[in-house]
Structure 1
Amino acid sequence: MTNHTQAEIVRKSLKKRYRKEKRFRAYGILAIAIALSALVVLFTDIIGKGYTGFMKTSLNLEVELNQEMMFLDDATDPKQIRMADFVEPLVQALMKEIPGATEADRDEVRTLINPYASADLREALVNNPEWLGTTREMNLLAHTDVDVYVKHAGDSAYSIKLSEQQREWVDQLVEKGVVEVGFNDTFFEGGDSRDPSRAGILGAVVGSLLTMFITLILSFPIGVAAAIYLEEFAPQNKLTDFIEVNINNLAAVPSIIFGLLGLAVFIGLFGMPRSVPVVGGLVLTLMTLPTIIISSRAAIKSVPPSIREAAAGIGASKMQVVLHHVLPLALPGMLTGSIIGMAQALGETAPLLLIGMVAFIVDVPGGFLDSATVLPVQVFLWAGSPELAFIERASAAIMVLLSFLISMNALAIWLRKRLERRW
């Protein structure tokens, strides 16, 4: 009877344990499902808003470069170029494409043309003065309001600022092929702009690359050297314990604190210029160093002691053991940790805002001391713009940034799989 009772108790306890395990497994699956759902919603929202940022709306016009209309006799004379009228040929060319458009509609027709189109026409004529007096087929950007209407006419999130008459004209021009939507090369070839249709990410991408280059050449050697010293040469005392604790603490410090440090030291104390890749790289180096040191120390610890003992047994010095045997074997882990740290730095915004890299930068930086911005800051600027047309640009820039981050993490995974050693 007693044995029977104990067996029942064991069976009940086992059933209870199995039920708990099933619930725990269900909770884990539910958590993963929620995380994946949130990720799908996030990517759907970003892609849904951002894919149109890779398209532009342009006008295909037969532009008559009439001297009398433009008040221009010599296209090689800079003074005449400055005084010439480059808007009227565009307006007349567009009015010819709109059935029933009269001079009374001139102002409404003009607002369909991008305000920077006249500058593009002027630049084209300066580069090709022989065009004066001829008729040329030109592809020019449409106004931002036209771009929004063509791409988001049925989307209630975007307000359409065109009048009913202008919408009819645009619909007719789309049918005739005068207004067309194509790949937005301007988005990848230009810097920032007040006009959403001309805003590009090239300046931000170049600024990010310059900043990341400074970060890499400083953080990787310093971080690896610090990890080697702490793991292989530093004596075990209170000072090294203090340093190790602070390195671990610095890895958890909010990134904005490093921005405050960079503002106080590099700009306030040393007087370095704001909004330049050098200062941005120095700040991100401070932020990335703890991550690289920790990952490098873990890689060094993963090298079996037998490697060190075998090298020392054949007469190698401590330095030779570390440089010739330990470091090459730990290098794959160091590289993957560094790449992950660089990917984290690439996505940082807060520390760079504090050192002035939030400035409106139109020109593409040509060096490490030129004013620049970075992709995350560019996204921040566009996302906060009152123009809804900038929202699609911000989402498209996020997609580009995510592609960089995913590529860097994929590279880290590939390096770890390709170079890892099994002991």
Structure 2
Amino acid sequence: MSDTSSSLPQQRQHSTIRAGIAKRHARERRFRAYGIAAICAALTAVAILFGMILYKGVPAFWQANVELEIFFDPEIIKVPERPQPQPGQSPAELEKQQLAWERQVTMVNWNRVIKAAIRKAAPDVEIDTKQALSIIETNGRYELRDMFVNDPGLLGQTVTVNLLASANADNWLKGNIDRNLPDAQQQLSAPARALADRLLEEGTIRFAFAWHLFTNVDSRSAPASAGLAGAFMGSLYMMLVVIVLAVPLGVGSAIYLEEFAPKNRFTDFIEVNINNLAAVPSIVFGLLGAAVFINFFHLPLSAPIVGGLVLTLMTLPTIIIATRSALRAVPPSLRQAALGLGASKTQTVFHHVLPVTYPGVLTATIIGVAQALGETAPLLLIGMNAFVAAVPGTPFEQSTALPVQIFLWQGNENRNFFEARTSAAIIVLLALMLALNAIAIYLRTRLERRK
């Protein structure tokens, strides 16, 4: 009887313990489920974002091209023969004659040549000249002019030439415009739409990879030929300025503050301000750059050198903080061993401590540069949103940048065409940033293996 009465409290205690353990396990399972759900939600959001960008941007890498049999008709191209060097003629006189000849070539009605080729491709289509030319990009006549200037022997010959289709024709053929809309809301006239559809069916119009997206500069007169070459070079110059200035300054400052600077109120003040600078909005750096580098130092507006200096100020706190964290992670025993063997403070830092931190410093540097590559707000405030139809030759020439080019294309009035092209530019920018991050991971892994 006593055994039975004593076992009852023990059973209750055991059941209470088991119930508590079951509750803890249930809470752990719920917490794990919440964590997995949060990760899945984040990955889903990222997948949707990248999926939308790829869905809209990938078609922009393929663009409609019109393959025409161009006859360089002597009845239309009425120009004299190209000037040739004459005995006793100075180079200046020859250049003057050649420039005058090129001006005559420019005055030729090359649109008539293109129209004749279109008539030949679709002889039974009733269409006027303006409507026929609306399916060809406006710079097509300049391509024919340049071909003739480079080879005047084309006169009287028939050559197969691939010309870009216009942005409106590309929109129509890709289905970016509702075909059921009335004519008043269509970008192309009804005869031009019918001609484009027929040339596509016959294989005269084909979709090819848009290499000009990487080789051409931005264009307002010929939007179908607009490219990222100028913006890419502008971003490249800015990143070179950031690497040359931010990396040595940031790493050097971190080494001094962490290893050599005395611990007092002044260094504490500097450390607090570095941490504060890392949290300052990027647009504030743009205002600082406009006030200091442009208004005070009178550096050129819209120049990569100014953008690079502004992005350097933004990147410095990131590099300094990351480098100091890497230096703090080095075991104190390494410093003590080096000092115990007779190494000086400088030798200890640069020969023993700093090599250990190379993976962390390199990773922070590349991530900082990748972050600077995607900044837009500070570049807008220093004028890099200006339209520049040229590839900059130096960091002091006017230019734009990849994120700013994306901003400009997003606001273009031809939404049907430039919405896809904007997504394509975003893909290019993301590819560059992912490549930089991949390089950082690879170099960090390789340096860690060497240690």
Same fold flag (TM > 0.5) = yes
Corresponding residue for residue 159 of structure 2: 136
Whether the aligned pair in 1 keeps the contact of 2:217 and 2:226 (CA below 8 Å) is yes
Q: 1:98-113, aligned counterparts within 5 Å?
A: 98-102=122-126, 105-113=128-136
Corresponding residue for residue 411 of structure 2: 384
Q: 1:210-359, aligned counterparts within 5 Å?
A: 210-359=237-386
Shift of 1:411: 1.5
Give 3-state SS (helix, strand or coil) of 2:64's partner: strand
Residue type at the aligned position of 2:72:
L
Corresponding residue for residue 403 of structure 1: 431
2:45 aligns with one of 32, 38, 44: 38
**Quick one: distance in 1 between partners of 2:80 and 2:155?**
8
1:82 aligns with one of 81, 106, 110: 106
**Quick one: distance in 2 between partners of 1:335 and 1:106?**
60
Q: 1:153 to 1:395 in 2, by over 3 A?
A: closer
Corresponding residue for residue 53 of structure 1: 60
Q: CA RMSD in A?
A: 2.0
**Quick one: distance in 2 between partners of 1:225 and 1:341?**
16
User: Which 5+ residue runs of structure 2 have no aligned equivalent?
Assistant: 1-7, 83-97
Whether the aligned pair in 1 keeps the contact of 2:300 and 2:397 (CA below 8 Å) is no
**Quick one: distance in 2 between partners of 1:381 and 1:30?**
38
Residue type at the aligned position of 1:25:
R
Q: 1:255 to 1:268 in 2, by over 3 A?
A: same
Give the TM-score, by structure 2 length.
Answer: 0.89
Corresponding residue for residue 204 of structure 1: 231
Shift of 1:152: 2.3
**Quick one: distance in 2 between partners of 1:230 and 1:2?**
65
More deviation, 211-220/48-57: 48-57
Q: Deviations over 1:342-385 (max 9, x none)?
A: 11111111111111111112111111111111111111111111
Shift of 1:218: 0.4
- Structure (1 or 2) with the larger CA radius of gyration: 2
Give the TM-score, by structure 1 length.
Answer: 0.95
Corresponding residue for residue 169 of structure 1: 195
Whether the aligned pair in 1 keeps the contact of 2:125 and 2:195 (CA below 8 Å) is no
1:146 aligns with one of 169, 179, 196: 169
Shift of 1:179: 0.9
Whether the aligned pair in 2 keeps the contact of 1:61 and 1:93 (CA below 8 Å) is yes
Shift of 1:96: 1.3
Whether the aligned pair in 2 keeps the contact of 1:61 and 1:137 (CA below 8 Å) is yes
Q: Deviations over 1:311-351 (max 9, x none)?
A: 11121111111111111111221011111111111111111
1:178 aligns with one of 195, 204, 217: 204
Aligned identity (percent) is 49
Q: 1:333 to 1:155 in 2, by over 3 A?
A: farther
Q: 1:156 to 1:213 in 2, by over 3 A?
A: farther
Shift of 1:160: 5.0
More deviation, 328-337/10-19: 10-19
**Quick one: distance in 2 between partners of 1:40 and 1:317?**
53
Shift of 1:200: 0.4
**Quick one: distance in 1 between partners of 2:397 and 2:122?**
46
Corresponding residue for residue 147 of structure 2: 124
Whether the aligned pair in 1 keeps the contact of 2:359 and 2:445 (CA below 8 Å) is no
2:33 aligns with one of 26, 32, 36: 26
Q: Which runs of 4+ in 1 moved over 6 A?
A: 154-159
